[in-house]
Chain A
Amino acid sequence: NAGVTQTPKFQVLKTGQSMTLQCAQDMNHEYMSWYRQDPGMGLRLIHYSVGAGITDQGEVPNGYNVSRSTTEDFPLRLLSAAPSQTSVYFCASSYSGGPGELFFGEGSRLTVL
């Protein structure tokens, strides 16, 4: 049972490049989400999904895109990377959103030059 798996763990991009952070869970969780964690800012919600085909914006969605074609996968796309997107990104999932326990991946550290 792998839980929540994120890839890649580290990535360096140049300004303007695009990339996709992958997130997969094997717990049959309906709720999946992406956070970014910055020093002094805590965890901020980027996008979330309550099931396949359903996504919604969080607190800081600009510059990011998501889709949820399967229950297991929830990729995060950076459309045109900017230095302000340098951060650690976490994917998290829960069986049923708020009422359920939240489980996190190990994180993806992104640097945009």
Chain B
Amino acid sequence: KQEVTQIPAALSVPEGENLVLNCSFTDSAIYNLQWFRQDPGKGLTSLLLIQSSQREQTSGRLNASLDKSSGRSTLYIAASQPGDSATYLCASNGNQFYFGTGTSLTVIP
């Protein structure tokens, strides 16, 4: 079974800082890797989807990379803002979707 791990579990940074969230997975036989954002009491919002043939995807201040051979993905957030405070989850999409337990991000004004 695919194991997805996210480190760190929690992160607190001052506003304006650039930061990296990590996601690792054990089985490289995936179709894609997806990053989500979850606000308290809300559902998961899809941020970025990286196909297995791609190395990275960008959306605004977000950049996600994928290295299938090493089983790693990173989500880079540039110039963090208090509104970025949320839990960020990654999911590996193979024959099933497997989720990490998330990184809880707090951006301090």
Residues of A within 8 A of B (CB): 4, 33, 40-43, 45, 48, 58, 90, 92, 94, 97-107
Q: Are B43 and A106 in contact (CB under 8 A)?
A: yes
CB <8 Å contact, B93 and A99:
yes
Closest residue of B by beta carbon distance from A101: B49
Q: Which residue of the partner chain, among A40, A43, A92, A99, contacts B32 with CB atoms under 8 Å?
A: A99
Q: In the complex, how many angstroms separate the beta carbon of A39 from the nearest chain B beta carbon? A: 10
Contacting pair B93 A98 (CB below 8 A):
yes
- How many whole Å from B48's CB to the nearest CB in chain A? 10
Interface presence of B101 (CB below 8 A): yes
Smallest CB-CB separation from A3: which chain B residue?
Answer: B43
Give the B interface residue count (CB, 8 A): 23
Residues of the B chain whose Cβ atoms lie less than 8 Å from the Cβ of A102:
34, 46, 91, 93, 97
CA distance A58 to B1 in the complex (A): 12
In the complex the two chains form, is B46's CB within 8 Å of A42's CB? no
Q: Does B100 have its Cβ within 8 Å of any Cβ on chain A?
A: yes
Per-residue A-contact encoding for B78-106, CB less than 8 Å = 1, 0 else:
00000000000101011111011110000
Nearest to B99 among chain A residues (CB) is A43
A42, A90, A92, A103: the one contacting B101 at CB < 8 Å is: A42
Instruction: Assess the A98–B95 pair: CB atoms within 8 A.
Output: yes
Q: Are B95 and A97 in contact (CB under 8 A)?
A: yes
Give 14 CB contacts A-B under 8 Å.
A4-B43, A42-B102, A43-B99, A45-B96, A45-B97, A90-B44, A92-B44, A92-B97, A98-B97, A99-B32, A104-B36, A104-B43, A104-B44, A104-B46
